[in-house]
C-alpha cells in the first residue's frame, strides 16, 4: 500500500522530531510575528468517537493543503499545538513548492490502529471526519500523514471533494515516494551546482541513511547519475532490497559509521532530528540533502552547519515532491505534469543558496524569507 505523506516541515511539537516549542495553543494561534492562523476548527462526533482539530494557517496562495495526522497525543492541548505548528509549516512548504495552496493540517486524536486492533480508527470515524472537511467548503484540502494511509483517504473522500492522497483505483495518485525522491535528487543536483559548479553527483560519495520507500528510489537516481553510494538502515529487509538491485552499493552498520566515513553528501532519509549537537560536529560531508522531515533537531543547528561550511538544503524544500503530487491529484493526476513541477525543486534550491550567500544567512532562513515574501505578495494582490 502506498503512503502519501504530506508532513510538516518546521517547528513540530511532538511526533516527527524532537523540536519542542513550549507554548499554549492560543498564543500560537494568534502569534502575529508568524502571521497567526486564519481558522481553527475543533471537531467532535460522539457516535464514532472522532475528536479532531483542523488548522488553517493561510489561504493567501489558495486553499490550505496539508495531511491528516492520526496520533495518540498526551493531551488535547498538545494535539491543538501540533495542528497549529504543522499547518504553519505547510504554508511555507507549499509556497516554496510553487503551489497555488496555502497551509493547513489536521490531527485526529487517538490510537490510529483500527478498533479491531484496539485503536479508535473506524469507517464511521473517518466518514465523520470527511464531513467536517466538507463543512469547510474547500478552504482545507486533506491528504495522508503519519497514521493515515491511502485506504483511509479513500473513505474520507466519500464525504467531500477535497481529499487527495487516494488510491489509484479511486482516482488518486498513490505512492508519493517516487516524486519525493526525485525532488530530493533535484535538490542534491542544485547543491552540487552551487558548491562544485556542476549539477551532477558523478564521482561523489553520497551516504543515504534510511533506504525505505524514498531512500531506495533516491539510490536509483544516484547510481544512474554515477555517484558512489553508501547506505545504512536498521531494517535488514530495506538493506537486502538495495543489495539485490544495486550490488555496487556499500553498506555500513550505522548512521554514525556513515556520517563519520568519508562522504561528499549526506542524505538523511529516515527519521527527524538527524542533525544535532552530536552529528553536526562529526559530519565529513560538505552537503546535507535528504528527505527526512524536521532534520534540524533544534533552532540554531542551521547556523552550526553554516559555521562548519556545510551546505544544508532545507528538508521541506527538497522533499516537496509528495505534496506536489497530491496537489496535482486535485486536477486528475498526471504524472508527467507533477514531475515537471517537481523538477523545479532544482531552481528553488539554487535560488535559496544564492539568497543565503548574498544575505549572509543560513539556507534555512533564506528559504523562510522567500516563502514569506511569496505569501505577502499574494496577500497584497
Ligand X SMILES: NC(=O)c1ccc[n+]([C@@H]2O[C@H](COP(=O)([O-])OP(=O)(O)OC[C@H]3O[C@@H](n4cnc5c(N)ncnc54)[C@H](O)[C@@H]3O)[C@@H](O)[C@H]2O)c1
In sequence order, what are the beta bridge partners of 40? Answer: 55
**Whole-number CA gyration radius for the chain:** 20
User: Does residue 233 bind ligand X (CB under 6 A)?
Assistant: yes
Distance from C-alpha of 278 to C-alpha of 269, rounded to nearest angstrom = 18
Least distance (Å) between residue 131 CB and ligand X: 27
Applying the rule CB under 6 A, the residues between 320 and 379 that interact with ligand X are 322
Among 177, 186, 191, 349, binds ligand X (CB under 6 A): 177
Least distance (Å) between residue 13 CB and ligand X: 16
Q: Would the annotation count 303 as a binding residue? A: no
User: Does residue 2 bind ligand X (CB under 6 A)?
Assistant: no
Judged by CB, which is closer to ligand X: 132, or 333? 333
User: Does residue 269 bind ligand X (CB under 6 A)?
Assistant: yes
Pairing between strand 50-58 and 39-45?
antiparallel
User: Does residue 232 bind ligand X (CB under 6 A)?
Assistant: yes
Distance from C-alpha of 210 to C-alpha of 7, rounded to nearest angstrom = 17
User: Does residue 12 bind ligand X (CB under 6 A)?
Assistant: no
CA distances to 13, 80, 253, 329 from 25, in Å: 11, 6, 42, 32
Among 163, 319, 348, 349, binds ligand X (CB under 6 A): 319
Establish how many alpha carbons lie within 13 A of residue 199's alpha carbon, considering only the half-sphere containing its beta carbon: 11
The single-letter DSSP state of residue 142 is B
Catalytic residues: 105
Least distance (Å) between residue 258 CB and ligand X: 8
Choices 29-37, 136-144, 212-220, 306-314; region in contact with ligand X by CB under 6 A: 212-220
CA end-to-end distance (rounded Å), the chain: 42
Count of residues touching ligand X (by CB under 6 A) = 27
Least distance (Å) between residue 205 CB and ligand X: 18
Distance from C-alpha of 303 to C-alpha of 350, rounded to nearest angstrom = 19
Judged by CB, which is closer to ligand X: 16, or 368? 16
**CB distance 153 to 172 below 8 Å:** yes
Which alpha helices (DSSP H) does the chain contain, by range?
A: 25-30, 76-96, 123-135, 150-156, 177-196, 213-225, 236-245, 255-260, 279-282, 301-307, 315-318, 321-329, 335-343, 345-359, 363-380
The C-alpha cell at 288 is: 546535507
Least distance (Å) between residue 73 CB and ligand X: 18
Applying the rule CB under 6 A, the residues between 238 and 267 that interact with ligand X are 238, 255
φ and ψ at residue 350, rounded to 5 degrees: -60, -45
Choices 40-48, 128-136, 210-218, 360-368; region in contact with ligand X by CB under 6 A: 210-218
User: Does residue 215 bind ligand X (CB under 6 A)?
Assistant: yes
Q: Would the annotation count 212 as a binding residue? A: yes
Applying the rule CB under 6 A, the residues between 284 and 313 that interact with ligand X are 291-293
Torsion angle defined by CA atoms of residues 193, 198, 202 and 207, in that order, rounded to the nearest 10 degrees: -20
Q: Would the annotation count 287 as a binding residue? A: no
User: Does residue 94 bind ligand X (CB under 6 A)?
Assistant: no
Least distance (Å) between residue 236 CB and ligand X: 9
User: Does residue 213 bind ligand X (CB under 6 A)?
Assistant: yes
Choices 85-93, 108-116, 228-236, 326-334; region in contact with ligand X by CB under 6 A: 228-236
Extract the annotated binding site for NAD(+).
210-215
Extract the annotated binding site.
210-215
Amino acid at each position: 500500500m502506498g503512503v502519501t505523506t504530506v508532513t510538516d516541515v518546521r517547528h513540530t511539537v511532538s511526533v516527527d522530531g524532537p523540536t519542542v516549542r513550549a507554548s499554549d495553543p492560543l498564543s500560537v494561534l494568534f502569534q502575529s510575528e508568524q502571521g497567526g492562523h486564519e481558522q481553527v476548527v475543533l471537531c467532535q462526533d460522539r457516535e464514532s468517537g472522532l475528536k479532531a482539530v483542523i488548522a488553517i494557517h493561510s489561504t493567501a496562495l489558495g486553499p490550505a493543503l496539508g495531511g491528516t495526522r492520526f496520533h495518540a497525543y498526551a493531551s488535547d492541548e498538545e494535539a491543538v499545538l501540533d495542528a497549529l505548528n504543522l499547518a504553519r509549516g505547510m504554508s511555507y512548504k507549499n509556497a516554496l513548492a510553487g503551489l497555488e495552496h496555502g497551509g493547513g493540517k489536521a490531527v485526529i486524536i487517538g490510537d490510529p490502529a483500527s478498533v479491531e486492533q484496539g485503536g479508535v480508527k473506524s469507517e464511521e470515524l473517518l466518514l465523520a471526519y470527511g464531513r467536517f472537511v466538507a463543512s469547510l467548503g474547500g478552504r482545507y484540502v486533506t491528504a495522508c500523514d503519519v497514521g493515515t494511509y491511502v485506504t483511509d483517504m479513500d473513505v474520507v473522500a466519500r464525504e467531500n471533494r477535497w481529499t487527495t492522497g487516494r488510491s489509484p483505483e479511486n482516482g488518486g495518485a498513490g505512492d508519493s515516494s517516487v516524486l519525493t525522491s526525485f525532488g530530493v535528487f533535484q535538490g542534491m543536483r542544485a547543491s552540487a551546482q552551487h558548491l562544485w559548479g556542476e549539477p551532477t553527483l558523478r564521482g561523489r560519495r553520497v551516504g543515504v541513511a534510511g533506504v525505505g520507500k524514498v531512500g531506495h528510489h533516491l539510490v536509483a537516481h544516484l547510481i544512474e547519475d554515477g555517484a558512489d553510494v553508501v547506505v545504512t538502515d536498521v531494517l535488514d529487509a530495506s538493506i537486502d532490497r538495495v543489495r539485490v538491485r544495486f550490488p555496487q552499493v556499500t553498506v555500513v552498520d550505522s548512521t554514525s559509521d556513515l556520517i563519520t566515513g568519508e562522504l561528499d553528501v549526506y542524505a538523511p532519509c529516515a527519521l527527524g532530528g538527524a542533525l544535532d549537537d552530536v552529528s553536526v560536529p562529526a559530519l565529513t560531508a560538505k552537503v546535507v540533502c535528504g528527505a527526512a522531515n524536521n532534520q534540524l533537531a533544534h533552532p540554531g543547528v542551521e547556523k552550526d552547519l553554516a559555521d562548519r561550511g556545510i551546505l544544508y538544503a532545507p528538508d521541506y524544500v527538497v522533499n516537496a515532491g509528495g505534496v506536489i503530487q497530491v496537489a496535482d491529484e486535485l486536477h486528475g493526476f498526471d504524472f508527467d505534469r507533477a514531475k515537471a513541477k517537481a523538477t523545479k525543486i532544482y531552481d528553488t534550491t539554487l535560488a535559496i543558496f544564492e539568497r543565503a550567500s548574498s544575505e549572509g544567512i543560513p539556507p534555512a532562513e533564506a528559504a523562510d524569507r522567500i516563502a514569506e515574501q511569496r505569501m505577502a505578495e499574494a496577500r497584497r494582490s
